[in-house]
Structure 1
Amino acid sequence: MKRMLTAVLAVFLLTTLPLASVQAEIRTSAIFGNSMVLQRDQPIHVWGWANAGQAVAVDLAGHSANAKCDDQGRFDVMLDALPAGGPHNMTIKSGGETVTYGDVLIGEVWVCSGQSNMGWSVGQSNDADLEALSANYPKLRLISVPQVGTQEPQDSFKGQWEACTPQSVPNFSGVGYFFGRQIHQTLGVPVGLIDNAWGGSAAEAWVDRDRLANAGSFDDLLAKWEQTEQTYDHEKAMASYEARLKKWQADRKGNRPRAPRNVLAGQHRPANLYNGVLNPIMGYTIRGTIWYQGESNAGRAYQYRELFPMMISAWREDWKQGDFPFYWVQLADFKTEQQSPGPSDWAELREAQTMTLSKLPNTGEAVILNLGEASDIHPKNKQDVAKRLARWALAKDYGYEIPYRSPTFKSMTIKGNQAELTFDFVGSGLDTFDVNTPIGFTIAGEDEVFVPATAKIVGKDTLVVSAGDVETPVAVRYAWADNPVCNVQSREGLPMTPFRTDQWKGITADVTK
């Protein structure tokens, strides 16, 4: 009797429960969904999961693609490239089930990534109230990836696309939104922005563990983390915190204790962000990436010379979309202005960022030395930061003939007690801001002691630099400080890229962890 009741119950469940409960549902990453923007003029990659070995058909705007799920149930299809437009419906069919995503637009898709200065919201930026009031762009779509740090690759996240409105924009990335708005207004096509930035994140957290290990240059860093992974006990740390909090609540002496963060699930551990916030969107067809990060790696600036281009190359290789554009923001001016020349880890990090331009194609750097705040690592003028990034995209990717790159050091010739410097990317010519005299140069002889120098613009792309105390100069530096006092720019207003002509050993040269 018992066996008969079991059989009857089984038949009842099979005939009354939804189909999805007795077979695998069609599932995609949350990057696919209602109101999404798909990249125009490129084959569109769509992936997801259903039953292993099962056929899948994807339809979009009259174009179809078919695939078969692999042993793990994953399918991948490439839809034909489409022009900007919409709205469309995308349907995914498999095993009698259909998933439909509506209000799909075709346009330009950009990833907005990095640490807190990319994550810094519109609501925290200059004129936040006015920016929100005017943020009515139904064809500008936004999606944010929650902060998940893990060693286990994630295939989705909790999030959804939404149109840009006065209600949705305040919590979105300021640099991302202002960049996307400029692209949208200029091109007149839909734009999709994907924000996966995480404040305080280190570059190594954005790279998979195997690449870091195989490089051979990050052994000290990985060894430090392996030690942490073996010894850190978050439950013990929380228990200690609870005890300190209880004591503080009893006597109210001193500052309230702060709860410990689980470093193993945080934004510094190698590969944590690669797995947690990058992997779920990896492969989504995009135009490119904008990036604002480096503060957390400034103490290891020499290491960043290899780490940063390696990170970009890793993203491109795993995205399987070629050398897509990757544009970053160079570190702003920050901390107390120094009256005398001296060492600077932030200057060395800026140098490492600039070096990446010559190492990888389709890269760009927005110089913002005149947009920082000495007492705030998060300058609130995100509008001008975004405009400088947008110049790169509009010039390099969309064919607009506009100035986009800051003047960059080219060569030096010593003539007596003067150093003659020439520059590339000067636009219509070198210029200065605020005062006529170029400011921010230092010069040194063979003793490697830098002193403030006098500079003069003598041609469209040429400066001469000298100092009375240096009879035979051998090296010149410009804006070489955490917060440099400097004023050279192109006549179009793009500030000169910081540089040094020497290769003398920096203060972060031997820092590896």
Structure 2
Amino acid sequence: MTKRFLIWVVSCFAASLFAEVKLNPLFTDHMVLQRNHATPVYGTADPGENITVEFAGQVKTAVAGENGEWKVTLDPMPASSKPRSLSVQSTIGHHKSSIVDVLVGDVWLCAGQSNMATEIRLYPTLREAKADVLNNSQVRMFKFQREGIGAEKPSKEVVIDAPFQNSWQKMTPAMAREFSATGAFFGNALQPMAGIPIGLLYANRGGTAVNQWLPMEFMQSKPELYAPFLGADNPWWTDGPRNPGLIRAPSRLFNGTIHPVIPFAIRGCIWYQGESDDRYSDIYGEMFSDLITVWRNLWGYDFQFLFVQLAPYDVVGWDARREAWAFLREAQDAALALPNTARAVIIDSGEQLDIHPQNKQPVGERLALLAANLDQPDIEAHSPEFDTAEVVGSKIRVTFKYAASGLEARRVAMNKNKRIEPGTDPEAFVIEADTLAGFTVCGEDHKFVPAKARITGTNTVEVWADSVDAPVAVRYGWANFPLCNLYNSAGLPACPFRSDHFPPPDFSESGLDVSAAQIQQVQKEVRDDFSGELPNVWENLHTAGWQAVDGHVQAGAFSGSHYVLANNDATADEDMKIDVSVSISSAGRNAWGGLAFNVQNANSFYVLRIKFDTGAYQLLRMVDGGKPLVVDSANASRKFEVGGVYSLRLQSVPKQGFYAVTIRDAGNDDVMLARVKVEAAPVFVSARAGLYCGSKTAQPDLFVFDDFVFKAGK
């Protein structure tokens, strides 16, 4: 062996002892670095290794710490569409690696819950024609694992969604379909306006609340605000199918999905969230502001924060007053008191029955206008906002900010039904441009009524109601699903507002007027105590064994999941109220039983049901044999014991979708549950009522029913 060869072998052996210098997984081919800002570049190597990073003529050095982590900071750079290489090299092991096609521009974090998270491919009206236009090599996308990553402690692990192949990707129709619809339309609209490369970072999970995106240590420092979420009674501390690995527990998504992004340099964040916090409008403003402030503190600077106001939606199950989201939208605006924040209004882009409306293109485009406006103030980006309200006689004069060249009314069409091209639903809610809609006024009684309105100046609207002689307050778009059509000349819809500061209403069911469903004049009554054979008026709609035995009906020997025994005499006219009751017992655990009503046929009906050996109650709607829709759900004050007897009662105005439910322990008449529910869009009304079972067990005599009573009247 020659001396030269021996030296070569020793050198190779020595080099192999050192770990390869690595860039953090956020730094890959095709990435975008943030312009005009000190830009951290970081990764791992052996402790004590000297690291050199080169990019765009800059050479920066660092030494890996005891934990192997290293970081350099590039000086601020102007935007550049020129593809360049970024290299990193260790001076001990002489390891060197490079990434290519690196651009410099603006990087935006796309974060929130499902309306930010949902990919284009999951929207039927977007995934083909609309996605085909998303083809821009100057827009680059990076996607953390779909549905986010949860962690018990703050993590640095970057977990990339599989279709992105561990790398940033150029925007093509195929890759855009795998990305956030809101985020993709944002980047595609912003890039030509800004004229620079745009980077998009996806970090989301659907069905999540603010507390799940905040650090635990911070929330523990504010127990007066966050204690309700941190306590053991928070259901997200329990593992389950919707909460695998406790991913929805407080802080878990911050730890696993947001913390790994810090300190990657960004221009700002676009945020779409709030639906899962709709019960907390009284504290949401503070929580949302906390999130922005805490994230900025962790990054070390006040990056831009652009958020989306909640879209119109009418199936907020717990809110019979149908205005809880109006108060949540108002709470979102608390963030505007912070610097470098702005809000995109989409009050014209919702759907009555879908919390995930298809119309995501204007959402992304309006966010893009706000982002472009940061560098180009001449771009009209802000929706008209309430400024002042002045009572003038029997009318109120409202002035607006951000009217651009003037206010105008435009045609608005929002779908009722799901998965249809926006505005094309035959049952869409439409306001024509010749009518200015969405305003209400009230007098000293604080009872708001629909109002008339007309544009009287560049930035003024006059509002009045013939029934209110002395108005004291005006509101606009103040509902979960408002129909309103005021715009500025730039085509941006006016933001919902209220001129008053009246206390919010009591949204709890106990605050509702149950008397609305009570029958004052009984016009029809059907009773059956099942003391003999089942009369012919009872129709078995499914393959279940129903029989009358010793004064009650027994049900068993099932072969499916849902069974209805309908009484063909228990019907009402369309404009009648109904009152249905029965007592029920079960011999089996985890078995559902209850009342059926509005029964059209074997595949379409409503159900009031309880689950034995649990406290669960549900109000279900079945349509054409499809997946059951849960109209309402809750837990009773205690379990429905196997062998116990319970009285179920439904009082309803079916045409209005109004349901009052009372469940009692038949043994002592204690009320175990009392609920009132208003369904935004009842599908069918005034059909038969009867009995219901829901269990796949073949156990005979699983359910026992007694004392069926049906009443109808006015």
* TM surpasses 0.5: yes
Map of 2:278 onto structure 1? 298
Change (3 A) 1:416 1:174: same
Change (3 A) 1:17 1:262: farther
Map of 2:70 onto structure 1? 75
Secondary structure, aligned partner of 2:284: helix
Map of 1:283 onto structure 2? 263
Where do residues 180-329 of structure 1 align in structure 2 (5 Å cutoff)?
180-225=187-232, 232=238, 234=239, 260-262=241-243, 264-266=245-247, 268-320=248-300, 322-329=301-308
Deviation of 1:220 after TM superposition, in Å, equals 3.2
Deviation of 1:486 after TM superposition, in Å, equals 1.1
Map of 1:394 onto structure 2? 372
Deviation of 1:138 after TM superposition, in Å, equals 2.5
Map of 1:92 onto structure 2? 88
Map of 1:247 onto structure 2? none
Confirm or deny: 8 A CA contact 2:149 2:159 kept in the other structure: no
Consecutive unaligned residues of structure 1, counting only runs of 5 or more, are: 1-12, 238-259
Secondary structure, aligned partner of 1:310: helix
* Mapped partners of 2:230, 2:215: distance in 1: 15
Bigger mean CA deviation after superposition, 288-297 or 411-420: 411-420
Map of 1:421 onto structure 2? 398
* One-letter identity of the residue aligned with 2:261: I
* One-letter identity of the residue aligned with 1:91: S
Deviation of 1:79 after TM superposition, in Å, equals 0.6
Residue 54, structure 1, aligned to residue 49, structure 2? yes
Map of 1:128 onto structure 2? 127
Change (3 A) 1:316 1:64: same
Deviation of 1:225 after TM superposition, in Å, equals 4.7
Residue 143, structure 1, aligned to residue 161, structure 2? no
TM-score (norm 1): 0.84
Residue 407, structure 1, aligned to residue 406, structure 2? no
Change (3 A) 1:454 1:36: same
Deviation of 1:65 after TM superposition, in Å, equals 1.3
* One-letter identity of the residue aligned with 1:326: F
Change (3 A) 1:165 1:507: same
Secondary structure, aligned partner of 2:129: helix
* Mapped partners of 1:64, 1:301: distance in 2: 50
Change (3 A) 1:136 1:449: closer
* Mapped partners of 1:219, 1:113: distance in 2: 21
Deviation of 1:469 after TM superposition, in Å, equals 2.8
Confirm or deny: 8 A CA contact 1:301 1:509 kept in the other structure: no
* Mapped partners of 1:205, 1:177: distance in 2: 24
* One-letter identity of the residue aligned with 1:208: P
Deviation of 1:291 after TM superposition, in Å, equals 1.1
Residue 438, structure 1, aligned to residue 436, structure 2? yes
Residue 470, structure 1, aligned to residue 447, structure 2? no
Change (3 A) 1:184 1:380: same
Confirm or deny: 8 A CA contact 2:211 2:229 kept in the other structure: no
Confirm or deny: 8 A CA contact 2:346 2:363 kept in the other structure: yes
Secondary structure, aligned partner of 1:280: helix
* One-letter identity of the residue aligned with 1:506: P
Spell out, residue by residue over 1:152-209, the C-alpha distance to the aligned partner (whole angstroms, 9 max, x if none): 2221323221122232221111111111112222333322111112111211111111
Give the count of matched residue pairs. Answer: 465
Deviation of 1:422 after TM superposition, in Å, equals 1.2
Residue 346, structure 1, aligned to residue 325, structure 2? yes
Deviation of 1:488 after TM superposition, in Å, equals 1.1
Map of 1:367 onto structure 2? 345
Change (3 A) 1:421 1:166: closer
Deviation of 1:27 after TM superposition, in Å, equals 3.3
Deviation of 1:212 after TM superposition, in Å, equals 1.4
* Mapped partners of 1:419, 1:134: distance in 2: 45
* Mapped partners of 1:227, 1:379: distance in 2: 29
Residue 333, structure 1, aligned to residue 312, structure 2? yes
Secondary structure, aligned partner of 2:255: helix
Deviation of 1:226 after TM superposition, in Å, equals 6.8
* Mapped partners of 1:277, 1:345: distance in 2: 29
* Mapped partners of 1:510, 1:212: distance in 2: 26
Consecutive unaligned residues of structure 2, counting only runs of 5 or more, are: 1-8, 161-166, 411-431, 510-714
* Mapped partners of 1:463, 1:227: distance in 2: 46
Change (3 A) 1:418 1:166: closer
Change (3 A) 1:510 1:48: farther
* Mapped partners of 2:292, 2:208: distance in 1: 15
* Mapped partners of 2:30, 2:36: distance in 1: 19
Confirm or deny: 8 A CA contact 1:343 1:506 kept in the other structure: no
User: Aligned-residue CA RMSD in angstroms?
Assistant: 2.6
Deviation of 1:454 after TM superposition, in Å, equals 1.9
* Mapped partners of 2:399, 2:194: distance in 1: 35
Bigger mean CA deviation after superposition, 439-448 or 481-490: 439-448
Spell out, residue by residue over 1:318-366, the C-alpha distance to the aligned partner (whole angstroms, 9 max, x if none): 112x2111111111111169xxx95511111111112321x11111111
Residue 379, structure 1, aligned to residue 325, structure 2? no
Change (3 A) 1:227 1:191: closer
Spell out, residue by residue over 1:7-52, the C-alpha distance to the aligned partner (whole angstroms, 9 max, x if none): xxxxxx99887956x4444334311112211112222111222233
Deviation of 1:500 after TM superposition, in Å, equals 0.8
Confirm or deny: 8 A CA contact 2:236 2:246 kept in the other structure: no
* One-letter identity of the residue aligned with 1:362: N
* One-letter identity of the residue aligned with 2:21: I
Deviation of 1:400 after TM superposition, in Å, equals 5.1
Bigger mean CA deviation after superposition, 124-133 or 87-96: 124-133
Map of 1:246 onto structure 2? none
Spell out, residue by residue over 1:365-405, the C-alpha distance to the aligned partner (whole angstroms, 9 max, x if none): 11011111111111112111111111101112x21512111
Confirm or deny: 8 A CA contact 2:443 2:473 kept in the other structure: yes
* One-letter identity of the residue aligned with 1:87: P
Confirm or deny: 8 A CA contact 1:408 1:497 kept in the other structure: yes
Deviation of 1:134 after TM superposition, in Å, equals 3.8
* Mapped partners of 2:405, 2:449: distance in 1: 30
Secondary structure, aligned partner of 2:390: strand
Spell out, residue by residue over 1:46-90, the C-alpha distance to the aligned partner (whole angstroms, 9 max, x if none): 122223333222111220112223332322211122231332111
Deviation of 1:479 after TM superposition, in Å, equals 0.7
Secondary structure, aligned partner of 1:129: coil
* Mapped partners of 2:395, 2:14: distance in 1: 82
Confirm or deny: 8 A CA contact 1:31 1:280 kept in the other structure: no
Secondary structure, aligned partner of 1:217: helix
Q: Percent of counterpart pairs with the same letter?
A: 36
Spell out, residue by residue over 1:403-458, the C-alpha distance to the aligned partner (whole angstroms, 9 max, x if none): 11111111112223222211111111111122333211111223221111222222
Secondary structure, aligned partner of 2:128: helix
Confirm or deny: 8 A CA contact 1:40 1:82 kept in the other structure: yes
Change (3 A) 1:219 1:42: closer
